[in-house]
Amino acid sequence: MKFGIVVFPGSWSERDMHYAVADVLGYPAEYVWHRATSLNNFDAILLPGGFSYGDHLRCGAIAAHSPVMAAVKDFANNGGFVFGSCNGFQILCETGLLPGALIRNDHLEFRCEPGNLRVESSRTPFTSQYADGDVVAMPISHGEGNYQADDETLAMLESDGRVIFRYVDEDNEATPEANPNGSLNNIAGITNEAGNVLGMMPHPERACESLLGSSDGNPLWQSIVVAVDGGG
Amino acid sequence: MAPIAQELLDEVALSRAEYEAIIDRLGREPNELEIGLFGALWSEHCGYKHTKALLRTLPNTSDRLLVAPGAENAGVVDIGDGYAVAFKIESHNHPSAVEPYEGAATGVGGIVRDILAMGARPMALMNSLRFGPPTDERQRYLLSGVVSGISGYGNCIGVPNVGGEVVFDASYAGNPLVNAMCVGIIEGGKVMSARADAPGDLLVLVGAKTGRDGIHGASGLASRTFEEQAELRSTVQVGNPFLEKVLIEACLEAIELPGVVGMQDCGAAGITSAAVEMAERSELGINIDVAKVPRRENEMSPYEVMLSESQERMLLAVKPGAEERLFDLFEKWDIDAAIIGTFEADNQVVVSEGAWQASSTPVVTLTDAPEYQFNSPKPDWLAELQSFDLVGLPDLEITPNEALLKLLASPNIASKHTVWRQYDHQVQNNTVIAPGGDAALLRIQGTQRALGVSTDGNGRLVYLNPRVGSAIAVAETCRNLACVGAEPVALTDGLNFGNPETPDIQYQLQEAIAGISEAASAFGIPVVSGNASLYNESAGSAVQPTPIIGALGVLENVERHARSAFQDDGDAVIVIGTDTPWDTFDGLAGSEALAVFHGTIAGQPKLDLDLETKVQTLCRSLIGGDLLKSAHDVSHGGLAVAVVESAVQGNIGVTIQHDDPVTDWLSALFGESQSRIVATCDDDDVDAVLRIASEAKVSATQVGTVGGDYVRVANVVNLPLATIADVWLNSFERATSG
């Protein structure tokens, strides 16, 4: 089992992901430079937060055309597990590996704050170590995390159970107040149709130790390891 | 020869006497390029003409000191376990006044590169902001622009912004203050130096291409009064945070290469200041060929290239032969790198463009800026303000409940969480205590240790008594550290004052630095870095003298920290530092209550440094002994506001009762006397806490109990927590959103 953590020049969550996966949980993890064209050595690919190439055009738009993302697409199309958080989620939408788009937060400000998510489904390679309906604490940190999709896509995501994380309040209600950015249906994270690609705006790698406020992100990495190793 | 035109001297902010001194030292007239070089290097910003003599009096020794103050871009202290920390505060006031977004953004970028130059990975930012009252639309525009600039730049570079201050006072209306502090960490003691090793070493410029932006930033924006700057917008630099982020990573890799011997940031006065300072530190000369500088604009003169303040550039000193691997590294990161000069055995700064030599000037002549000394008397108006009668204030027409709600709604007191949440304060996975606490707390990965970081400054108190007010700034920022459990180890000072050529400002400067000195000595810690921003005036009126003190603290066991939020029903509330919760009339001096309810800033601030150090030592030892469940410094708004803040943060009520009856409720509740901490402990630990306090010879008194959903203070305040929380949490947004 080995995680590959993609590093774009403007990534800044790659070290935090490495810390959560390797230092806290002890799983092997290596950085993958954005010019890499092969991902053969890895069992799961992580796309970190940050500003990839500066995000001047649209968040993740240039990254979507980078050499490494061509390799990530192949990796995903062959059934490999791909996870993206924050800028990683934006890039996954820009490459078309996930449907929909992330636009500017509805209040037009950057938002960094703790928050609660409901785990809508534990039947994914990324969430098997949670239970359905769990409320987990993971912070957000983004200016463009407002998830949008057309009506048809949204209906499909909901009916197919592909909305995996939803912003909720402390009472597990998906209220407008719990929605930090204007996302449709309080959507915080979704999967692709095959279920092997997950993108989410919140930062599970920052929820890795109770000292920092939450360790609710750890089961996500553990789920990926279970999916790869079959529980081994 | 005709005497030099006054306009030319004004353009570079040199006085005629200074120009005469240059001729005297050179034995000839300087040429046009040299006038630019002197203007930059002898500017207040680079040359510290009016503060150098005073700054030498600050405490500058400590067992922890690895790089002495002034020797490099920032002082460096040992924090144990093989780690060292570089930190520094810097102002970007005038650029932010002219263009708030880019001014603040490039202020962040600049201080980050100062820390990077020490070979440190930037691990935290803080900022200290001052504006005029937010009832004025322009002030709201400045606030919003500055916060967006800090957010836009800081969030992109992957360095958490862990807090700071936002304060409003009419004196800042024409001249806001934007001070940014950066803390960087060095593993394994590998501190970089901004110097070359030997003649023949190469000078390599890396990062952004050079344009015409920011020319005369140092001599213009930073060294003149505000009304001279109306048309100086073009001298504000434009930042590229993505490039800064890449530059950080590339430079941290570069210093691991063999043959990379020195690093220096290009800040104010661009290549001029950076290269000449490197030459001076190296005791070498330097030859610079401006034709080798990668540019983004055509037909720039040597003058423009040398004085450009284009952002996101660093200089490296590299051994000959080591450049190939360096170029490969910067190519990997898609960053320009170019050899633009060599260090030489002579002590000349030679600027050429290809084969043409534009100037040749002795290093020492350029760097040895004049030093102005002064000893100005206390102004008469100050004595009058200090003797203001705080006892005989007229009665107020409002109740204590109404007064508390009004104070909580003051933008100086209301929670600033709507600002902090625009800053990424968590990236790098170290933030244990986020913005909104007394101090930020950042753990050091792989160790049990944590760093406490805090900034503080109170212009009103410094205005009323520059010496005591400045000592209070040191005491309070260290008290903030004590409240999270961290021991202060070093300070950095951002000095924001008016025109130093006037006696009143000179008095403020000399007294303020004496006060910082006294307090730092009392705590036994050095001032390791800093910045002087003078000429903060508009329409002939100076800002309140505002030294911002940044403090760095060490906590050996990160698990043993405290927060300001009340915890559990039944916990005992203890006030440390005094035997009664109620303050006296003296505490109204320069207080928010005096400003809000009586519309005046007056009185005589007081500080007992002996008591202060004892209170802080006690607080740290109680937290270290796991006896406190919360600790919060009493400052703006006095005891009542401190109690409310802890209650709202903990989402639990509190009752403060004491045998002393409350008389004169305004001072009793809202007085801001120093050296007080509101702490809580488990009811079972009250005796232990009081006994340890008594052994430490510090007054400490149980004054109440945590619990319920009301905030009650004696028989005068009685309000639902929900009402109080709404006012404290939402008033800042209401006041600043127009």
DSSP three-state, residue A153: helix
Nearest CA in chain B to A35: B332
* Residue B532, Cβ density class (10 Å: 0-12 exposed, 13-18 middle, ≥19 buried): buried
Answer whether B80 touches A (CB < 8 Å).
no
Rounded CA-CA distance B657/B722 in Å is 21
Nearest CA in chain B to A107: B422
Which among B421, B429, B559 has the least Cβ separation from residue A16?
B429
Rounded CA-CA distance B335/B425 in Å is 28
Rounded CA-CA distance A228/A224 in Å is 6
Rounded CA-CA distance B568/A60 in Å is 45
Rounded CA-CA distance B37/B359 in Å is 10
Q: Is the pLDDT of residue A231 over 60?
A: no
What's the token pair of residue A113? 């704050």
Answer whether B428 touches A (CB < 8 Å).
yes
Q: What are the tens digits of pLDDT across the range B374-431?
A: 999 999 999 999 999 999 999 999 999 999 999 999 999 999 999 999 999 999 999 9
Which among B151, B333, B425 has the least Cβ separation from residue A9?
B333
**Do the Cβ atoms of A110 and B426 come within 8 Å?**
no
Q: What are the tens digits of pLDDT across the range B580-600?
A: 999 999 999 999 999 999 999
The single-letter code of the amino acid at B354 is: G
**Residue B207: φ, ψ to 5°:** 110, -140
Interface test with A, best of B143, B161, B426 (most A CBs within 10 A): B426
**Do the Cβ atoms of A112 and B334 come within 8 Å?**
no
How far, CA to CA in Å, does B552 sit from each of B71, B162, B467, B474, B487? 19, 13, 22, 11, 8
Which among A23, A54, A203 has the least Cβ separation from residue B242?
A54
Q: Residue B491 belongs to what H/E stretch?
A: strand B487-496
Nearest CA in chain B to A109: B422
Note the pLDDT of residue B232.
53
Contact B122, B112 (CB under 8 A): yes
**Do the Cβ atoms of A112 and B423 come within 8 Å?**
yes
Q: Is the pLDDT of residue B1 over 60?
A: no
Q: What are the tens digits of pLDDT across the range B634-682?
A: 999 999 999 999 999 999 999 999 888 888 999 999 999 999 999 999 9
**Do the Cβ atoms of A212 and B421 come within 8 Å?**
no
Nearest CA in chain B to A204: B429
Q: Is the pLDDT of residue A232 over 50?
A: no
Q: What are the tens digits of pLDDT across the range B51-107?
A: 999 999 999 999 999 998 888 889 899 999 999 999 999 999 999 999 999 999 999
Note the pLDDT of residue A106.
98
Rounded CA-CA distance A134/A117 in Å is 8
Q: How far is A147 from chain B (nearest CA, A)?
A: 19
Answer whether B737 touches A (CB < 8 Å).
no
The predicted model gives B726-737 an average pLDDT of 95
Answer whether B234 touches A (CB < 8 Å).
no
Residues of A in contact with B249 (CB under 8 A): 9
% residues pLDDT > 90 (chain A):
97
**Do the Cβ atoms of A19 and B429 come within 8 Å?**
yes
How far, CA to CA in Å, does B262 sit from each of B73, B154, B191, B205? 12, 26, 10, 12
Which among B333, B426, B432 has the least Cβ separation from residue A206?
B426
**Do the Cβ atoms of B427 and A56 come within 8 Å?**
no
Q: What are the tens digits of pLDDT across the range A81-113?
A: 999 999 999 999 999 999 999 999 999 999 999
Rounded CA-CA distance B443/B451 in Å is 6
Note the pLDDT of residue B268.
85
Q: Is the pLDDT of residue B435 over 80?
A: yes
Q: How far is A100 from chain B (nearest CA, A)?
A: 24
% residues pLDDT > 70 (chain B):
97
Q: How far is B427 from chain A (nearest CA, A)?
A: 7
* Residue B60, Cβ density class (10 Å: 0-12 exposed, 13-18 middle, ≥19 buried): middle
Rounded CA-CA distance B631/B644 in Å is 13
**Do the Cβ atoms of B558 and A211 come within 8 Å?**
yes
- Active-site hit among A86, A94, A142, A144: A86
**Do the Cβ atoms of A141 and B155 come within 8 Å?**
yes
Q: Which residues of A touch B (CB under 8 A)?
A: 9-13, 15-16, 19-20, 23, 49-51, 53-56, 109-113, 139, 141, 143, 203, 205-206, 208-209, 211-212
Taking the alpha carbons of B384, B390, B395, B400 in that order, is the dihedral positive or negative? positive
Q: What are the tens digits of pLDDT across the range B94-103?
A: 999 999 999 9
Taking the alpha carbons of B75, B206, A55, A41 in that order, is the dihedral positive or negative? negative
Nearest CA in chain A to B151: A110
- Active-site hit among A14, A94, A120, A205: A205
Rounded CA-CA distance A118/A137 in Å is 9
Answer whether B356 touches A (CB < 8 Å).
no
The mean pLDDT of chain B is: 94
Q: How many CB pairs under 8 A join A and B?
A: 83
Answer whether B426 touches A (CB < 8 Å).
yes
Rounded CA-CA distance A219/A228 in Å is 14
Q: Is the pLDDT of residue B604 over 70?
A: yes
Full-model pTM: 0.96
Q: What are the tens digits of pLDDT across the range B339-386?
A: 999 999 999 999 999 999 999 999 999 999 999 999 999 999 999 999
**Do the Cβ atoms of A10 and B422 come within 8 Å?**
no
**Do the Cβ atoms of A109 and B246 come within 8 Å?**
no
Contact B563, B572 (CB under 8 A): no
How far, CA to CA in Å, does B77 sit from each of B455, B481, B737? 18, 17, 41
Nearest CA in chain A to B559: A211
What's the token pair of residue A184? 């449709």
Q: How far is B432 from chain A (nearest CA, A)?
A: 5
Note the pLDDT of residue B8.
85
Note the pLDDT of residue B6.
85
For residue A56, indicate whether it is catalytic: no
Residues of B in contact with A141 (CB under 8 A): 155, 424, 426-427
Rounded CA-CA distance B631/B127 in Å is 23
**Residue B375: φ, ψ to 5°:** -145, 85
Contact B98, B232 (CB under 8 A): yes
Q: How far is A1 from chain B (nearest CA, A)?
A: 24
The predicted model gives B185-198 an average pLDDT of 91
Nearest CA in chain A to B242: A54
The single-letter code of the amino acid at A148 is: Q
Nearest CA in chain B to A206: B429
The predicted model gives B289-299 an average pLDDT of 95
Rounded CA-CA distance B647/B722 in Å is 10
The predicted model gives B697-715 an average pLDDT of 96
ipTM of this complex: 0.97
Q: Is the pLDDT of residue B219 over 70?
A: no
Interface test with B, best of A18, A62, A110, A113 (most B CBs within 10 A): A110
**Residue B341: φ, ψ to 5°:** 180, 180
The predicted model gives B457-469 an average pLDDT of 98
B232 Cβ neighbours under 8 A, 6+ residues apart: B98, B216, B220, B221
Contact B372, B50 (CB under 8 A): yes
Q: Is the pLDDT of residue B498 over 60?
A: yes
Rounded to a whole number, what is the distance in angstroms from the first to the last CA of chain A? 10
Residues of B in contact with A201 (CB under 8 A): none
Q: Taking the domains of chain A in order of start, what are their residue ranges?
A: 3-229
Contact B174, B538 (CB under 8 A): yes
**Do the Cβ atoms of B427 and A111 come within 8 Å?**
no
Note the pLDDT of residue B734.
94
Q: How far is A155 from chain B (nearest CA, A)?
A: 32
For residue A107, indicate whether it is catalytic: no
List active site positions of B: 45, 92
Contact A12, A49 (CB under 8 A): yes
For residue A65, indicate whether it is catalytic: no
Confidence of residue B470 (pLDDT cuts 50, 70, 90): very high
Superfamily of domain A3-229: Class I glutamine amidotransferase (GATase) domain (3.40.50.880)
Which among B245, B246, B429 has the least Cβ separation from residue A212?
B429
Rounded CA-CA distance B501/B175 in Å is 18
What's the token pair of residue B240? 């590229």
B454 - beta bridge partners? B551
The predicted model gives A20-32 an average pLDDT of 98
How far, CA to CA in Å, does B336 sit from each of B249, B326, B340? 14, 11, 12
Residues of B in contact with A206 (CB under 8 A): 426-427, 429
Q: Is the pLDDT of residue B228 over 60?
A: no
Q: What are the tens digits of pLDDT across the range B511-560?
A: 999 999 999 999 999 999 999 999 999 988 999 999 999 999 999 999 99
Q: What are the tens digits of pLDDT across the range A38-85?
A: 999 999 999 999 999 988 888 999 999 999 999 999 999 999 999 999
Residues of A in contact with B428 (CB under 8 A): 15-16
Confidence of residue B10 (pLDDT cuts 50, 70, 90): confident
Q: Is the pLDDT of residue A25 over 90?
A: yes
What's the token pair of residue B77? 């202290």
